[in-house]
Structure 1
Amino acid sequence: MQPAAFGPTGRTGVPLVEQTLECGHPVAAHTCSFRKLAIEHERVDMVVGDAYTDEGVRETVAGDNIVTAMEDVGVVRFVTLVGAGVRTEGELVSVGGRVVGALLKFLARSVLEDAKTHVASVRETDRQWTVLRAHRLTAGSGSGGYRAGDIDFVSAPRADGATRTLDIVAEGLYFRELSMVGSS
C-alpha cells in the first residue's frame, strides 16, 4: 500500500504522514511547496502542485483530478476528511450542530461549499470511499482513542483523526459511508 496524501503539510496532514511512515508505508505527498513539508524521509515521494488546478495531481496518482485520477489508475480505496458541516440527507442534527452549521455558513461559506462539492464528487464514484467528518479538530498529541460513527458534537486531536483515517484503510471500515469522528 502506498497512500497518497493531499494536504500533507496541514495540521492533520502532518500526523497522517508521520503515522503512515511509522506503519512502514511509503507516502506520495502532494503539496503546494517543497519548503512546506517539514518531514524528510526516504519513503516520502513529494510532488509539488495544486490539487484544484490539477498541477502535480497526475504525478501523484496519474489522472485529471483526485477522483478521476484514482479511477484512471485503478485506485480502489479512498478516504477523505472534511468538517462535520457536510451533512447527509435526513441526518438528525443536534441543536449545537445546527448552531455550528449556521456559523459555518456565515463565517466560512466558501470552505463549506468546497467541502460539499468535494464530497458530492467522491460519492458519485464507484471507488470504495469513506468520508470522515470531524466536528472540531484540535492541536496537541493524540490520545490514541476515538469514537466514530453516529456521534454528537465532540472535538478530537488532529493526530487521532489521522489514526482513525489509517485504521479505516487498514481495517476496511465504512465503505461508501460518511462517518463522524471524535475523541473517546
Structure 2
Amino acid sequence: MKVTILGATGRTGQQLITQALAAGHEVVAYARNPDKITQTHPRLQVVGGGLEDDGALRHAFQGTDAVLSGLGPVGNNPDYVLGRSTPHIIRTMQAEGVSRLVLATGAGVRWPGDTPGLFDQLMGFLLKTLAKHVLEDSRRMVTAVVNSDLAWTIVRVPVLNDNPATGTVRVGMVGQGTGSKLSRADMAAFMLAQLQSKQYVRQAPTISN
C-alpha cells in the first residue's frame, strides 16, 4: 500500500514513517521543510510543500491509497492553520481519487457519545481558557473532514509522550474507560492499523494507554 503522511517532520509523523516502512508500505512524507526528514529508505519519497499548496499536495497524493495526518495546531493564535488548510487537503485528495483519511486530533474535541468525567471537564475548561485557539483550530479541521465525503477516521488522543510502544491501546469515548496518556508509538500503530480495517470509518474514537 502507498500512504502519504502529513506532518511528517513532527514526532508523530516520524513514528508514522518508521512504522509504515516497517510494515512494508510505500511512503510519501509531505513536509514544509523536507530537509528536516533525515530518514532514508528505498520506499520513502519526500515531497516539500505547504498545507495550502494545492499543486504540491496533488503531487504528494498521486497514486496514494491513503493519507495519514499527524498535523497539530501551530501555536495558540487565531491563524487557524489547520482550519484553513484542511479544505485544500480534502479537495486535492478528491481530485486524485484518494478517499481514505486517518487523522489525529486532541481528545478535547468532543464527540457525540462522550461522557466526560470531572478530570475531562477540568481539562476541557483549561483548554478553552488557556488554549482556546488551539481547540478552535482543531474543531475547524474536524468539521471540514466530517462534512466531506471521504472515508475518514478521526483518532482523538490525550496527552502524548515518547514512551516505547506497549502494543495495546484502550479504545472508547471520552469518559468511558480511556486514560489520560498515550505514547506516540502506540498512536501511530493504531492509525496504521486503520488502513486494514473499516471498523472506525466515519467515527472518532478516543485511544489511550
Instruction: Determine the structure 1 residue equivalent to 2:194.
Output: 168
Q: 1:159 aligns with which of 185, 200, 204?
A: 185
Instruction: Determine the structure 2 residue equivalent to 1:73.
Output: 96
- Per-residue deviation, residues 44-74 of structure 1 (Å, max 9, x unmatched): 1111111145462222126x71111111111
1:3 aligns to 2:10 (yes or no): no
Three-state SS of the structure 2 residue aligned to 1:177 is coil
- Per-residue deviation, residues 95-153 of structure 1 (Å, max 9, x unmatched): 11111111112222222111111110110111111000001111122111111122433
Three-state SS of the structure 2 residue aligned to 1:80 is strand
Q: Are 2:2 and 2:25, in contact at CA under 8 Å, matched by a contact in 1?
A: yes
- Separation in 2 of the partners of 1:138 and 1:111? 19
Q: TM-score with structure 2 length normalisation?
A: 0.81
How many residues align? The count is 182
Three-state SS of the structure 1 residue aligned to 2:185 is helix
- Separation in 1 of the partners of 2:92 and 2:199? 22
Instruction: Determine the structure 1 residue equivalent to 2:153.
Output: 130
Q: Are 2:54 and 2:92, in contact at CA under 8 Å, matched by a contact in 1?
A: no
Q: Point out where structure 2 has 5 or more consecutive residues left out of the alignment.
A: 63-86
Letter in 1 for 2:188: A
Q: Are 2:104 and 2:155, in contact at CA under 8 Å, matched by a contact in 1?
A: yes
Instruction: Determine the structure 2 residue equivalent to 1:47.
Output: 47
Q: Are 2:181 and 2:208, in contact at CA under 8 Å, matched by a contact in 1?
A: yes
Letter in 2 for 1:163: A
Letter in 2 for 1:180: T
Three-state SS of the structure 1 residue aligned to 2:51 is coil
CA drift of 1:154 comes to 2.4
Letter in 2 for 1:181: I
1:102 aligns to 2:130 (yes or no): no
RMSD: 1.7
Q: Point out where structure 1 has 5 or more consecutive residues left out of the alignment.
A: none
Instruction: Determine the structure 2 residue equivalent to 1:145.
Output: 168
Instruction: Determine the structure 2 residue equivalent to 1:84.
Output: 107
Give the stretch that moved more between structures: 66-75 or 125-134.
66-75
Report % sequence identity: 33
Q: TM-score with structure 1 length normalisation?
A: 0.91
- Separation in 2 of the partners of 1:79 and 1:61? 14
Q: 1:112 aligns with which of 105, 112, 135?
A: 135
CA drift of 1:89 comes to 4.0
